[in-house]
Amino acid sequence: MTSAALEHQVIVIIGGTTGLGLSAARACLSAGANGVVITGRNPESAAAAVAELGDRALAVTGDATSPEHAEEAIAAAVSAFGGFHALYHVAGGSGRRMGDGPLHEVTADGVPATLALNLNSVIYSNRAAVRQFLAQDGGGSILNMGSVLGWSPSPKFFSTHVYAAAKSAIAGFTKSIAACYAPHDIRANVLAPALVETPMAKRAACDDEILAFIRTKQPLDGGRIGTPADLDAAVVYFLSPASAFTTGQILAVDGGWTVSEGQMP
């Protein structure tokens, strides 16, 4: 992708103040985006991100599980930068601390909490984006964060079954809206990473047994955990006009996870 791939584009990143989202925001600005609105829960993280990104960035703080959160971010993008062209939904995470896990251990509270964070939030943000795109009558792009766990499970080390259900649902939901809104030039795609360096991955990154598994499950580039930057080129492609003929697709940026057995030595 060229440094002008996102020229004149305004991007909203739900969950963009840290980690994968912040890395994507940097990439979007480097690719020439006119403006990027990032969202997150923590005001301090939001302020630090904007200070780093500069005057073409704006932060909106709030809860991604709120139906109004993305609406507010998109309105801020239109007001501050004069338009809205693409949405990247990154917000989500493990429901383990909320009661997710292997199915026989999943709590009654863990089911709605994990689904709210990882699925409901996506539905709300995508709804807000589609409504705005239809009102503008100019098309646009939606990119949702999936996971290889949505269709390529790892029972020994990564059994969070409600999370997997949510990520699987994101794939079906995204394909459904891609089909429905293609005549309006509204595109919707999914980016599905494997294990990447994020706060959610700290448990795995500190476990020698899991790291040994990852060396064979993600064998590319030495068998390492992914980095947020590994996803950035794909993000720019899907958000930019370069993907004008691409919709309803799921791209696994996974170090080989989905084509490797991950056998222990």
Tokens 């959610």 -> residue: 200
| Residue 109: Cβ within 10 Å count | 12
| Three-class SS state of 37 | strand
- Cβ-contact 220, 201 below 8 angstroms: no
Which of 88, 124, 163, 181 is labelled catalytic? 163
Radius of gyration, CA atoms only, the chain: 18
Structural tokens at position 157: 């080390």
How many Cβ atoms from other residues are within 10 Å of residue 86's Cβ?
28
* Per-residue tokens: 33: 């985006």
Q: How far apart are CA 84 and CA 56, in angstroms?
A: 14
Cα(162)–Cα(155) distance, integer angstroms:
13
| 163 is an active site residue | yes
Mapping DSSP to helix (H, G, I), strand (E, B) and coil, where does residue 175 land?
Answer: helix
In Å, how far are 15, 149, 256 from 218, measured between CA atoms?
A: 25, 13, 5
Give the count of beta carbons closer than 10 Å to the beta carbon of residue 156.
11
CA distance 16 to 220: 27
Burial level of 194, CB count in 10 A (0-12/13-18/19+)?
Answer: buried
In a 13 Å sphere around the CA of 238, the CA atoms on its Cβ side amount to 25
The catalytic residues are: 163
